[in-house]
Amino acid sequence: MKFTKTGSYTAPKIEYSKDKKNWVNYSFGTNVSMSVGDKCYWRGNNLYFSQGRDSSYIRFSCDGDVEANGNIMSLLDKNCSKNDVPNYCFDGLFTDCTGLLTAPLLPATTLGEWCYDGMFVGCEKLAKCPDLPSTIITFRCYNNMFYNAGIVQGPSILPATTLAKYCYSNMFFGCKKMTNVPVLPAINPVEGCYNCMFQGCESITESPYLSFTNIVNIN
């Protein structure tokens, strides 16, 4: 498994360990060899992880199958005390990681713009969506998050009551196996907030319940 960095920005500093006792500074692009049943822990103290979109990003890849567990915020704060995700932070992090079986915890309640954009695109073996407790969301924060992923069980609720433009755009686009619709408690829509959110989710048989008190172009 490895992390790779694209772009000229300064890479975050992270460490890894196989026993949570002996920690090694990680050099981006370096393979960490693992055997079946091994565990690898990652941590760092960083203001951001990915810094931007398209030309500046970080990807995780692996040979074989991997179960991601624990708190993803350990990449920003070793003690996992941070509760907010900066703009673009985990944009595309697991894109096309076809061996990813489970997602890490995503406990942040305040999200920056584009922060989870495309995070699990093409993760065809990822069957369960992690809980998404964020109550403060921003422009395209969940954009394309599970695009063409293998999600069968989506989140039970997306609890934010105040929406942002295109916040959930394409979030579950192409998740053909997904069977449930999360509770969507917001009452005031904004432009593009649900744009193509469930397009291609052919296993969903129920319609989302929307409590809107006014209507805009939500797609």
CA proximity to 198, closest of 210, 214, 212: 210
Task: Give the pLDDT of residue 62.
Answer: 95
List, run by run, the mean pLDDT of 10-residue segments along the chain (219 residues).
91 95 96 94 94 83 95 96 95 96 97 97 97 97 98 96 97 97 93 95 87 66
Task: Give the pLDDT of residue 153.
Answer: 95
- Do residues 122 and 145 make contact, with C-beta atoms less than 8 angstroms apart? no
pTM, two decimal places: 0.94
pLDDT tens profile 4-14: 999 888 889 99
Task: Give the pLDDT of residue 215.
Answer: 66
Cβ-based neighbours of 128, under 8 Å, separated by 6 or more: 102, 103, 151, 152, 153
Which tokens is 35 given? 């055997």
- Do residues 70 and 38 make contact, with C-beta atoms less than 8 angstroms apart? no
Task: Give the pLDDT of residue 209.
Answer: 77
C-alpha pair distances (Å), 29 with each of 4, 5, 23, 169: 5, 7, 18, 31
Cβ-based neighbours of 217, under 8 Å, separated by 6 or more: 191, 192
